[in-house]
Amino acid sequence: MSEENHFQKIASELKLKVWQVHKTVELLDSENTVPFIARYRKEATGNLDEEQIRDIEERIRSLRVLDARKETVLNSIEKQGKLTPELKEKILAAEKLQEVEDLYLPYKPKRRTRATIAKEKGLEPLADKMLALATDLDDFDEFVSSFIDEEKGVNSAEDALAGARDICAEAISDNADVRKVIREIYQKSGALHSEAKVLEEYGNYEVYADFSHSLKTIQPHQVLAINRGEREGFLKVEVEVPESDCISEIERMYLTDENSPFYEHLKMAIADSYNRLISPSIEREMRSGLTEIADEHAIEIFAKNLRNLLMQPPIRGVTIIGIDPGFRTGCKAAVIDATGKFLEGATIYPHPPQNHWQEAKETLLQLAKKYNAQVLSIGNGTASRETETLAIEVIENFEGDLSYIIVNEAGASVYSASKLAREEFPDLDVSMRGAISIARRLLDPLSELVKIDPKSIGVGLYQHDVNQARLSQALDQVVESAVNFVGVNLNTASKALLQYVAGINSRIAENIVKMRDEQGKFESREQLKDVKGMGENSFTQCAGFLRIPDAENFFDMTAVHPESYEAAQKLLEELELDSTTVRGNGELIEKRIREKKLSVQQLAEVCGTGVPTMDDIIDSLAKPNRDPRDELPKPIFRRDVLKIEDLKEGMILVGTVRNVVDFGAFVDIGVKNDGLVHKSKLAKKYVKNPIDVVSVGQNVKVKVISVDPERGRISLSMVIDE
């Protein structure tokens, strides 16, 4: 298929204009990044957002893979001298890889099979007659006997017929039309069935110990759970399908003449083909398809949760004590200032076996007083809630404004043992680095969490079971998107943060930090061109996302791209303003536009830009150093502590969503265990996907439905007035 046809197909699928797809693909092929295209090439794409651009990127990639496979298959069949015009047309018209593979199956080089062995014995002419249900034989027995050849291992007429049936079975299995029909039966009537391998031994898979569900409606989380149960050896899994229907469909296609002496033999070959070749192959295909869909769903949920976690608003201007809780090894407490700088650390032992409660409390009080700390940030791991009780006593005895918060510490241990952590804090032990990470991920979640492999952040479901390459790709895209959406302070960003900026790889990020360390802070974006490895394209991609808050050139502290500085300057002149005035009061821009009664269209024409770019310039100049995260609700700080025993049915509480999964959301309401809001209790209306209703980090009001202290289970509802 030509590229132009691809553009038309993608435009139709995504409900876009062909020129938008064409231009977007052109930009992607020219090594422009998705965040750059979405932000700074709006006129070129017709204002497509990141999601639309990534959809186009994914579809053109898959169509090109399909084209490449078609070319390989056509070349292979042509080399065999078996490519007919009809077959070529079918292959070129195929719209899915599976269709191409089905058409290629009869010509695909195979390992030695029962059919190839039979062909080596010279039985192919007999098989051809069998497949054709020949009736033109003068003497059936004599014809069959002519294939007996003891030297080739054909010792009897039955041997010859058995070999011919093997050849027929493989030919039937290789028939693309047969596979299409059987595939449709599986899709329409198939069910995934699982059962315990050993009665009463099903581990955590009790619900799947005797389970059956239609392939059409089975849920992604059920597929992933069954796959894991099978992999761990607890479950036996198969696809159930009406076998008689499948065989009957194949017979209808082949058994066209009951008068042929080969009729019963071909009937046997059909049954053998279905049971030995077709059914196992289609079952594998069905399960692989289910797993792929389930993977994509799980990855999508994980990606949305991760983005919401990364986009949590930073807590600015406070001194924080991060606490990494523990029992035997004690709790590490690390003080950081409002810039994230490590000030002091201590190890306390309030819990068993040491039980130095009073001493631990005094240590925390001294640190809080010494540095005028405002927040205690407690990791949510082992000994978290016990440490929470300690925090309450510290707050009660502290003369000042002090509160605490429980922070998701997932991945803190991964970071603390990493090369990056060793470079940042070479003289600190692993646990103290973890405490610093716990404090910093409250101070600025995005800047800290980018240091950790996204898979270790703990907001997914079955993240270790899905396609790991696809998961990594999706999560990296989320981090890249979030970092570029927020923008990065060029003079404070870590290497870990910089390498997610559009156009910057880890080598360039390292060189930026190195240049900053050697020559001092960057005074202008133009200096980026002096960074080793920073080519023209890299500069173009990254410049608009890197900000210098106190730059001499006002535009360097905004999201205005250097290529639009001239247009931005014309805008200020048109509005009779200067950068010094606007730097201190961005609202003047919008006020002056209203006073002069100018439209964005008029300003765009005067300044020589498109309307979308002019919109962005106005917004950027009106809100220099704007952080979009600041507009989101802040996390909940606490001054008291709840135990699960304190909960009563009907209590109304405010909590924070910690994770969103297929069946609901887990909410931290301030007790040791997160409560579950089942998806049926998320809203008064039917909720298909919980991710459409709630997001990680969101503050929600919930009602306690039931409490099971022994099992540590709490059921909550967001439908308060039912």
| Full 3-state SS string of 154-189 | ECCHHHHHHHHHHHHHHHHHCCHHHHHHHHHHHHHH
Of the given ranges (379-393, 499-513, 561-575), which has the lowest mean pLDDT? 379-393
What whole-number distance in Å separates Cα of residue 200 and Cα of residue 196? 7
What whole-number distance in Å separates Cα of residue 172 and Cα of residue 489? 64
Query: Which CATH number describes the domain made up of 3-77?
Result: 1.10.10.650
Taking 90 as the threshold, does the pLDDT of residue 678 lie above it? yes
Q: Which pLDDT score is estimated for 558?
A: 96
Q: Is 196 left (phi over 0), alpha (psi -120 to 50) or beta?
A: beta
Question: Per this entry, what is the length of the chain?
Answer: 722
Indicate the pLDDT class of residue 135, thresholds 50, 70 and 90: very high
Mean pLDDT for the stretch of residues 496-523: 96
Query: Would you call 325 exposed, middle or buried from its count of C-beta atoms within 10 A (0-12, 13-18, 19+)?
Result: buried
**Closest to 273 (Cα-Cα) out of 155, 365, 182, 405:** 182
Outline where 15-96 has alpha helix (H): 18-29, 34-40, 42-45, 50-79, 85-93
Copy the structure tokens of residue 172: 């039937």
Q: Which pLDDT score is estimated for 445?
A: 95
Outline where 202-278 has alpha helix (H): 220-231, 243-254, 263-272
What whole-number distance in Å separates Cα of residue 230 and Cα of residue 474? 26
What whole-number distance in Å separates Cα of residue 148 and Cα of residue 157? 6
Q: Which pLDDT score is estimated for 670?
A: 81
**CB proximity list for 72: less than 8 A, separation 6 or greater:** none
Please report how many Cα atoms fall inside a 13 Å half-sphere around the Cα of residue 154, on the Cβ side: 23
Taking 70 as the threshold, does the pLDDT of residue 347 lie above it? yes
Query: Which CATH number describes the domain made up of 644-717?
Result: 2.40.50.140
Residue 703's φ and ψ, nearest 5 degrees, are -115, 135
Mean pLDDT for the stretch of residues 67-77: 97
Mean pLDDT for the stretch of residues 64-80: 97
Q: Which pLDDT score is estimated for 455?
A: 85
Mean pLDDT for the stretch of residues 255-277: 97
Share of the chain above pLDDT 70, in %: 100
* pLDDT tens digits for range 267-310: 999 999 999 999 999 999 999 999 999 999 999 999 999 999 99
What whole-number distance in Å separates Cα of residue 607 and Cα of residue 600? 10
What whole-number distance in Å separates Cα of residue 205 and Cα of residue 251? 40
Q: Which pLDDT score is estimated for 1?
A: 65
* pLDDT tens digits for range 320-346: 999 999 999 999 999 999 999 999 999
- Whole-structure pTM value: 0.89
Task: Give me the residue spans of the domains in the chain.
Answer: 3-77, 320-484+493-498, 507-631, 644-717
* pLDDT tens digits for range 219-251: 999 999 999 999 999 999 999 999 999 999 999
CB atoms within 10 A of CB 14: 15
Q: Hey, what amino acid is at 316?
A: R
Q: Which pLDDT score is estimated for 557?
A: 95
Q: Answer for the pair 384, 322: CB distance below 8 angstroms, yes or no.
A: no
Q: Which residue has the tokens 């709790």?
A: 331
Mean pLDDT for the stretch of residues 557-567: 97
Q: What's the mean pLDDT when you consider all of the chain?
A: 94
Angle at 628 between CA 505 and CA 501, to 5 degrees: 5
Q: Which pLDDT score is estimated for 721?
A: 78
Helix axes 587-596, 611-622, angle to 10 degrees: 130
CA distances to 512, 524, 567, 569, 589 from 585, in Å: 31, 21, 20, 16, 8
Which of the listed CATH numbers 3.30.420.140, 2.60.40.10, 3.40.50.300, 3.40.309.10 matches domain 320-484+493-498?
Answer: 3.30.420.140
* pLDDT tens digits for range 690-699: 999 999 989 9
**What's the sign of the alpha-carbon dihedral 696, 386, 334, 417?**
negative
**What's the sign of the alpha-carbon dihedral 318, 406, 494, 501?**
negative
Copy the structure tokens of residue 217: 């409606």
Q: How is domain 507-631 classified at the architecture level of CATH?
A: Orthogonal Bundle (1.10)
Helix axes 243-254, 263-272, angle to 10 degrees: 140
Q: Which pLDDT score is estimated for 625?
A: 78
Taking 80 as the threshold, does the pLDDT of residue 656 lie above it? yes
Tell me the residue ranges of DSSP E strands in 469-580: 488-489, 546-547
**CB proximity list for 564: less than 8 A, separation 6 or greater:** 609, 613, 617
